[in-house]
Chain A
Amino acid sequence: MALAQQSSPHARRARSTSNVMLWVMLASLPGLLAQVVFFGWGNLINVIWCMALAVGAEAAMLRLRKRPIKFFLRDNTAAVTGLLLGLSLPPLVPFWVSAIAVLAAIVLAKQLYGGLGSNPFNPAMVGYALVLISFPVAMTTNWAEPGLLWENAPGLWDTLNIIASGQQSAVDAFTMATPLDHYKHNISSRTATEVLQHPTFGDGVAKGWEWVNAGFLAGGLLLLWMRLITWHIPVSFLAGLAIMSLAFGSNADLYAPLSMHLLAGGTMLGAFFIATDPVSAATSHQGKLIYGAGIGVLIYLIRTWGDYPDAVAFAVLLMNFAVPFIDYYTPPRTYGHHKPRRGLPGKNQG
C-alpha cells in the first residue's frame, strides 16, 4: 500500500488564483454593461481586443522565457490585465493605441520583471500611462458621447470601423470630452451652473458615468463580500479622494465637486479593481490604508492641478513606487510582541 506523503496542512480551500481572477472578471460585468449601454460598443470591443492580445502576448513571452505556457496562462492574470485596459481606455480609441498599451503592460511591466508576482508596477496602469503620455490626443478625444446604446450611439459595425481605422475625423461626430475634463477647462470662465448645462453632465452628476461607476461599485462590493479583496484599499482610496475634495474643492465654482470626483471618472474602477491589484499593492492592513489613501489624494491633486483629466493610472503608479517604503514601515504587530518589528533585521527589535 503506497501511502501518499505530504506536509501539513492536508486540507485546503478550493479557491485558486485562476478562480479569483475569474471572479474579478465576472465582477466587472455590471460596469462593462453600463459602459456599453451609455457609451456604445467601444468598450466591449476594446475589452475583447485587449484580452485576446494580452493572452497572446503572455503566451509569446512565456515561450520566449521558456516557461510552461499552459500552466501560467491558467492563472488568468493576463486576461484580467487586458480586461482592465479595455475597461479604462477611451471607447473609441484606435486599435493600435490599445495594442501598444497591452503590449507595454504584458511585455514591459509584467514579463520582463519576471512574470506574475514579481512586477512592482500595476501592468495595466503602466500600459495606460504609456499611451496617455505618448498619444495624448487620441487618449483625450476618443471618449464617446454619452447616450443610450439603442438611441444615438454608432452601431457595432460603425464602432468597429472607427476603432480599426483610427481616423480621427470619423470619430469626432460621436465623441465628447469627459465630464471631468470639461468641467476643469470651463470652470475658470464660467459658474458651476453654467458649466453643468453641457450635455455631458446630463441630469445627474455625469450622464452615463454615474451608472458606470455604480456598476463597478456593485462589482467591487461583490468582491468584498466574497472576501476576494479587503476593504482597506477601496475605502481609504475613496476617503482620501473625498477628504481632499472637501478640504480644497468645496467651492463648485472653482473646482469639480466631490460627487463628480466619485462618480464621473474612473474612480470606482480604480478603487475596487485597479488599486486592489495585490501584486503591486502594500501588504499589511495599515500599509494598505496608507497605499489606498495615497492614491486617493494623488488622484485629487493630479485631476485638480495636473495636466491630465483623469489620474488613476499616475496615482497608482506613483504609489507603486512607494510600496516598498510603506511595507518597510508598516509591518503588523505579531501576537505576543509589544511593538511591530519595523525595517530590517537588527533595527528596532520589538
Chain B
Amino acid sequence: MTQLWDFSGGIHPAENKHLSTTRPIEQASLPERLILPLQQHIGAPAEACVAVGERVLKGQTIARVPGSVGVPVHAPTSGTVEAVSMHPVPHPSGMSDWCIVLTPDGLDEWAERDPIADYHSMDRDAVLERIREYGIAGLGGAGFPTNIKLRPPKDRKVSTLILNGAECEPYITADDMAMRERADEIVSGLRIMAWILRPERCVIAVEDNKPEAIEALKKATENTQTEVVVIPTKYPSGGEKQLIQILTGMEVPSGGIPADIGVMCQNTGTAIAVSRAIHRDEPLISRVTTITGRAVSNPGTFEVLLGTPVEHLLKQAGLDEQQLHRLILGGPMMGYTLETPGVPVVKTTNCVIAATAEELPAPPPEQPCIRCGMCAEACPMELLPQQLFWHSKAGEFEKAEHLNLFDCIECGACSYVCPSSIPLVQYYRAAKGEIRIQQAEHLKADRARERFEARQARLEREQQEKEQRKKDRAKAAAEAQAKKQAEAERAEAEGQPADDRAAKSTLVEEALARKKAKAEKAAASEAPTPTAPEAPDLEALEKQLSQATAKLNTMQSMLEDAKAENADNVEKLERAVAKNHDRVKRAEQALAEARN
C-alpha cells in the first residue's frame, strides 16, 4: 500500500458522472466545417502557413509558432482551407480570435507519416522537439506546451512523475473513459515521458470512484515500476497542488512550481497524445471530450476532431434546445459558461455540460456573510475565504493579498458550501484582476519614475559639467584678467590710459577708430610706419577675440541646454548668441584688419 496523505478541506459535490459512462467512447461525426483557433495553448499564437483555398491533408501542419513557446496546429482531416478569420473561441470572456476554417472533403486522407521505430535511440531533445512539432499542449489544464513542461529548469530534478487521472470534477468522464479503453497508450506515453525525465517514481493517480479505469490501468502496468495509486474521492483531489500533497505529503511552495520539490504532473490525455506522436506519427488532432448534462438525451464521451463546433456535438448527443439553460465548458466547479454553442472544441476542452434550469439552477440572491467558516472548512489551500471576501469586496486589496489571495486556485469549494450563497470566487477573480491592473500601473509608474530619475541624474551631471566649465572659464578669465592687468600697468607706465574691463566691448571700436585714423593718417602722409604703440592694440584685439569667442561658446552651450530642457529663455539666449556671434565676427574682422 502506498502511503497517502490528506489535503485539508475539500467537498463532495454530486458526481453525475454516470450520465456519460454508459457507452464506450464514440467517434463524433464529421462536421461541415472545422474551426481551428491559432492559439490553443499558452504562449505565442501560431501563424497560418497555408493559403486560403489550399487543400490540406490530415495531419498536415497548417499553423506554426514563430518563437519557442507555443505549438503548431494541424489539419484534423483532409479538406480545403476556407478562410483564416476571426471566430468566437472558447474563452471565459466570450472573445473572438483568429481561426483557420477548414472544410473537410470526407476523404480523411493522411499526409505522409513517419513513425519512430525506437525513440530510445534518439536524442532526448529530438523527442521533445517532436512533441512540440506534433502540437501537444497539456490536455488537462490550461494548455501549457508539453515539451516545455517536460524540460524543467536545469537545477530541478524531477524524482516523481505523476499522471493525473483523478478527474475530480463532477460530470467530466473524458479521462475516466480514456483510462478504461486506452490504458496501454497511457502507459506507453508515460514511459516516453519517464524516459525523458528519468524520475525515480512513476505514479498514475485515480480517484476511487473509477473502478473500471483502475482495473484497466493495473492490467496495463503489470510487471512495470509504475504504481497505480487509488486516492479517495474528494474534490479537488485532481488539483495539481492537492494531488501532489496526497501522493507525497509535500506542498508546492507558494509561487513555485512542482519541479521545485521534484515533482511533475501530467495529464493522462497528454500521455496518449505523446504516445501517438511518437509511435503512430499522429499529431494532436483529436481528443476525448464528454458531452453531458440533462439537456441532452444521449450524453456520452466522444472522440472529437479538434475544431468541431460544440453545437455539432450537442446535436449528436441529442440536445433539447427547449431544456437548455446553461452551457458550460469544463466542469461545474471551474468551467465557464458559453455565450454561443458555435465555439469549437480545442486541445483543452474536456467537457461540455448542457444543463437544464433545474439541474444547475440560478443561485439564490447573495445574503450577508455570517462568518460561519464553512468556506474555510472547505478550502483546500487553507485560506480564509470569508476574510478574502470581506477585503476583496471592500477593495482592501493589500489586505487580501496579505491573506494570500494569490494562492487561491479558484476551485470554487468555498462558494459551493457558502450558506449565504455568496459568489466568493467571483469576488476573488475581480480582486485579482484589479490587483494585476494596479500592479501593471505600478510597474508603469515605476518605469516612469526610473526614467524621471535617470533624466534627473543626467541633468545633474550636465549641471555639474557646466559648473566645471564655468569654473574653468572663470579661471581662464582670471588669468586673462591678471595678464591684462599687467599689460594695463605696463601701458600705464607707458603713459596710456588703463583700459578697464568695461572697455571690452568698446575696445574693438576704439581699435577700429584708431586703425581708421591711422589708415587715414597713413593714407594722408603716405608714410606707413608701424610703431610701438600699435602693438598693444593688436594684442588687445586678439584678447578681445578670444574672449568674445569664449562667450559665444558659453552662450551656445547654454542655449543648447535651454533647448534640451525646453526652458522659456531659449529665445533670449538665441538673441544673445546671435549678438555674440556678430561680436566675434567683428573682432575677427578687426584683428584681421589690424594685422594687415
- Residue from the set A5, A7, A278 with the largest chain B CB neighbour count within 10 Å: A7
Q: Taking A3-B324, A13-B416, A335-B251 as contacts, is the C-beta distance between A20 and B372 under 8 angstroms?
A: yes
Q: Taking A283-B376, A333-B382 as contacts, is the C-beta distance between A345 and B407 under 8 angstroms?
A: no
Cβ contact within 8 Å between A334 and B404: yes
Cβ contact within 8 Å between A4 and B326: yes
- List the one stretch of B328-336, B440-448, B455-463, B582-590 in contact with chain A: B328-336
Count of chain A to chain B residue pairs whose CB atoms are closer than 8 Å in the complex:
169
A279 in the interface (beta carbon within 8 A): yes
Which residues from B are CB-within-8-Å of A10?
Answer: 326, 328, 332-333, 335, 337, 353, 355, 360
A281 in the interface (beta carbon within 8 A): yes
**How would residues 247 to 289 of chain B score, 1 for a CB under 8 Å from any chain A CB and 0 otherwise?**
0000111111000000000000000000000000000000000
**Contact with A3, one of B327, B369, B415 (Cβ below 8 angstroms):** B327
**Contact with B419, one of A6, A20, A288, A345 (Cβ below 8 angstroms):** A20
Question: In the assembly, what is the distance between CA of A331 and CA of B425, in Å?
Answer: 20
**How would residues 221 to 253 of chain A score, 1 for a CB under 8 Å from any chain B CB and 0 otherwise?**
000000100100000000000000000000000
- List the one stretch of B58-66, B394-402, B481-489 in contact with chain A: B394-402
**Contact with A11, one of B360, B370, B386 (Cβ below 8 angstroms):** B360
B362 in the interface (beta carbon within 8 A): yes
Question: In the assembly, what is the distance between CA of A3 and CA of B355, in Å?
Answer: 10
A344 in the interface (beta carbon within 8 A): yes
B412 in the interface (beta carbon within 8 A): yes
Which residues from A are CB-within-8-Å of B412?
Answer: 8-9
**How would residues 346 to 366 of chain B score, 1 for a CB under 8 Å from any chain A CB and 0 otherwise?**
000000010101001011110
Which residues from A are CB-within-8-Å of B367?
Answer: 16-17, 71, 75, 116
Cβ contact within 8 Å between B373 and A11: no
B193 in the interface (beta carbon within 8 A): no
Question: In the assembly, what is the distance between CA of A13 and CA of B245, in Å?
Answer: 26
Cβ contact within 8 Å between B421 and A283: no
Cβ contact within 8 Å between B421 and A16: yes
Question: In the assembly, what is the distance between CA of A11 and CA of B416, in Å?
Answer: 6
Cβ contact within 8 Å between A6 and B337: yes
In A12-43, which residues have CB < 8 Å from any B CB? 12-13, 15-17, 19-20
- Least CB separation from A323: chain B residue: B371
A237 nearest CB across to chain B (Å): 16
Q: Taking A1-B324, A19-B419 as contacts, is the C-beta distance between A8 and B425 under 8 angstroms?
A: yes
A66 in the interface (beta carbon within 8 A): no
Which residues from B are CB-within-8-Å of A283?
Answer: 371, 373, 376, 384, 386-387
Question: In the assembly, what is the distance between CA of A227 and CA of B382, in Å?
Answer: 18
Cβ contact within 8 Å between A8 and B368: no
Which residues from A are CB-within-8-Å of B73?
Answer: none
Question: In the assembly, what is the distance between CA of A19 and CA of B335, in Å?
Answer: 28
Which residues from A are CB-within-8-Å of B369?
Answer: 117
- Least CB separation from A335: chain B residue: B381
B339 in the interface (beta carbon within 8 A): yes
- Least CB separation from B410: chain A residue: A8
Q: Taking A3-B324, A335-B381 as contacts, is the C-beta distance between A12 and B421 under 8 angstroms?
A: yes
Cβ contact within 8 Å between A3 and B338: yes
Which residues from B are CB-within-8-Å of A332?
Answer: 376, 382-384
Which residues from B are CB-within-8-Å of A336?
Answer: 241, 251-256, 381, 407
Question: In the assembly, what is the distance between CA of A29 and CA of B567, in Å?
Answer: 85
A3 nearest CB across to chain B (Å): 5
Instruction: List residues of B whose CB falls within 8 A of some A CB.
Output: 7-8, 11, 13-14, 170, 241, 245, 251-256, 321, 324-328, 332-341, 353, 355, 357, 360, 362-365, 367-374, 376-377, 380-384, 386-387, 398-399, 401-404, 407, 410, 412, 415-421, 423, 425-426, 429
Q: A13-B417, A336-B254 are in contact. List 17 more A-B contacts (CB 8 A).
A: A1-B321, A6-B326, A6-B337, A6-B363, A10-B326, A10-B333, A10-B353, A10-B355, A11-B416, A279-B371, A281-B371, A283-B371, A327-B387, A331-B384, A335-B7, A341-B404, A344-B399
